[in-house]
Chain A
Amino acid sequence: MTVIKETIVRRKKSSDEVVISLSNISKKYTITHEKPTLVEDVSRILHFQKKEEYWALKNVNLTIHKGEKVGFYGPNGVGKTTLLKIIAGISAPTKGSVKTKGRIISLIDLEAGFHPDLTGQENIFLNGLIVGMSRDEIKEKLKQIIDFADIGDFITAPLYTYSSGMKLRLGFSVAIHAEPDVLLLDEIISMGDENFRKRTSQLMKKMFGNGTTLLLVSHSIQYLKENCNKLLVLSHE
């Protein structure tokens, strides 16, 4: 069972507006071994066994206000990623309710929505829609996205011709221009060359000035203390 301890690293005047509120969240996983699900189900019924269950989270309550920078820290397997997935709406909790406000974007895997045979521009539209932008919004920001990704003439070339750095920059550029209300970062992203990192951190600073909420997962407590104003330490009871 996971326990969350909250520590305030530094006070920051944040607004009273709640962006994320989890109440009594529990998440149960069914453990399967090497056998296929159907075989396991049948043999379990034949042997009168109960399902093997694992509660990744139990009765978790969490409230995050607008503009907060929250760091998640804890050992492997404590449920950090599960928690983030529930907040992002990728996974549904077994029990409890999730209330979120605004656009939530997770920068876990930026290239998941790309298709290798489509051009960079076509992929911008596809990925933009996946992260929740409307078509008009993407059209409006298309030039900004392309400029920030800095891929030049390659924008009309199919994506399989891109270097991995270019793909990463394009994915990041789309996500960041979607102007998320909440940004989820699993592990610190250090990507691209020096120049791109500099521009990224500039843009991030501007975003947080505008009240974007940040949820950051990391194994480096030092990094979290430096970059967050609230620290949530997850541990097994």
Chain B
Amino acid sequence: MLLFECFKRKRTIKLFMKLSKKQRHWLDFLSAMTQKEIKARYKRASFGFLWVVLNPLLQMLVMGFVFQFFVPVKVDNYFLYLFAGLLPWNFFAQSLTKTTPAFFYERSLIKKAKFPRESIILSIIFSNLFHFLVALLLLIVALIGDKLLLEGYGLMQLLFYALRMLWVVPAILLLVFFTVGFSLFTSSLNVRFRDVNFMVALAVMLWFYATPVVYALNLLPEFLQPLFYLNPMTTIIEMFHHALMGLPITLPNFIWVAIVIIICVFYLGLRIFKKESKNFDDWL
């Protein structure tokens, strides 16, 4: 009896080791693919990795200039407000438009080798996440500088401000989950139905205006506001605005709607991917 127990335990340990080896390879592979994405992007640029920082800085300047003077929206510190929303939005939009045709672009690899297919999608998203986080860090530096130099915050005030910024953590988590789920969904479908790519490009354009990035939700008529929360990006962007700009979330109860939708999208994306990925080879 004891021997049997021992044997069983040994087998489970063996199974666990086997599993963890597989998982380790998966992680290794994913990190290598992500590094490839990041490295290859700047490989032949003379400024190299400087572009990671330069890009968001220049974008901040251009957008700030354009919107400061040409779009009259009644929000304090509009330039910083705009950027706090634009960064997560860009992460989402760029990831989605790049991942949707990704399986199709990597067809030569998919047809020749067996490897975890999801790594193609995840590596694009994680490389975008890296760029997003760098830009976010720059924005936070700019925000703290603004508070210290222009608004004359004291130490305690600054501490509270920094504590509120922790809200970006759940916001980023939701954003990544939503992006991964949605990308898996569109990219898997795009293998068979190539129209998806064009639909996504169009949808992202419209979606931008359905999300309070360049405007604020409380400027809209009240009866419309709940409708906007059917779009999870509204909640995510408002969370960023809350964390970075200290603005209240317009309808806090509706956060749960977004969370439920994000979970559903993630689950659906995963299901479709699992079903379709077995037969990618047949359709590419």
Contact = CB atoms under 8 A, between A and B. Distances in A.
A45 interface: no
B36 A92 contact: no
B59 to A, nearest CB: 24
B112 A109 contact: yes
B105 to A, nearest CB: 12
Interface stretch (B2-10, B63-71, B276-284): B276-284
Interface residues of A, number: 30
B195 A38 contact: yes
B24 A106 contact: no
A115 B36 contact: yes
Contact of B28 (A112, A131, A134): A134
A189 interface: no
A29 to B, nearest CB: 6
Interface stretch (B37-45, B129-137, B236-244, B261-269): B37-45
B44 A134 contact: no
B112 A90 contact: yes
A179 interface: no
Interface string A130-156: 111011000000000000000000000
A229 B112 CA distance: 26
Given A109-B112, A112-B108, A158-B43, A118 B278 contact: no
B25 A113 contact: no
A85 interface: yes
A60 interface: no
Contacts of A29: 282
Contact of A85 (B21, B193, B281): B281
A129 B112 contact: no
Contact of A89 (B21, B25, B114, B193): B114
A117 B40 contact: yes
Q: Which among B111, B278, B282 has the greatest number of chain A C-beta atoms within 10 A?
A: B282
A135 B36 CA distance: 15
Contacts, number: 73
Interface size class of B (residues with CB under 8 A): 20 to 34
A90 B194 CA distance: 21
Contacts of B109: 112-113, 130
A171 to B, nearest CB: 11
Nearest to B25: A134
Contact of A92 (B29, B279, B283): B279
Given A37-B192, A91-B279, A112-B109, A135 B28 contact: yes
A134 B32 CA distance: 11
Contact of A117 (B44, B193, B194): B44
A108 B112 contact: yes
A88 interface: yes
A129 B22 CA distance: 12
A126 interface: yes
Contacts of A109: 108, 112
B102 to A, nearest CB: 14
A129 B115 CA distance: 9
A113 B113 contact: yes
A118 B192 contact: no
B194 A106 contact: no
A88 B44 CA distance: 35
B115 A130 contact: yes
B112 A106 contact: yes
A118 B282 contact: no
Contacts of B24: 134
Interface in B74-114: 108-114
11 contacts: A90-B281, A91-B282, A92-B278, A92-B279, A108-B112, A113-B112, A113-B113, A117-B43, A118-B39, A126-B33, A129-B25
Given A88-B114, A129-B25, A134-B28, 11 more contacts: A90-B281, A112-B111, A112-B113, A117-B43, A118-B43, A126-B32, A126-B36, A129-B28, A130-B115, A132-B25, A158-B44
Interface of A: 29-30, 36-38, 85, 88-92, 104, 106, 108-109, 112-113, 115, 117-118, 122, 125-126, 129-132, 134-135, 158
The 6 A-B residue pairs whose C-beta atoms are closest, nearest first, are: A92-B278, A112-B112, A89-B114, A91-B281, A117-B43, A109-B112
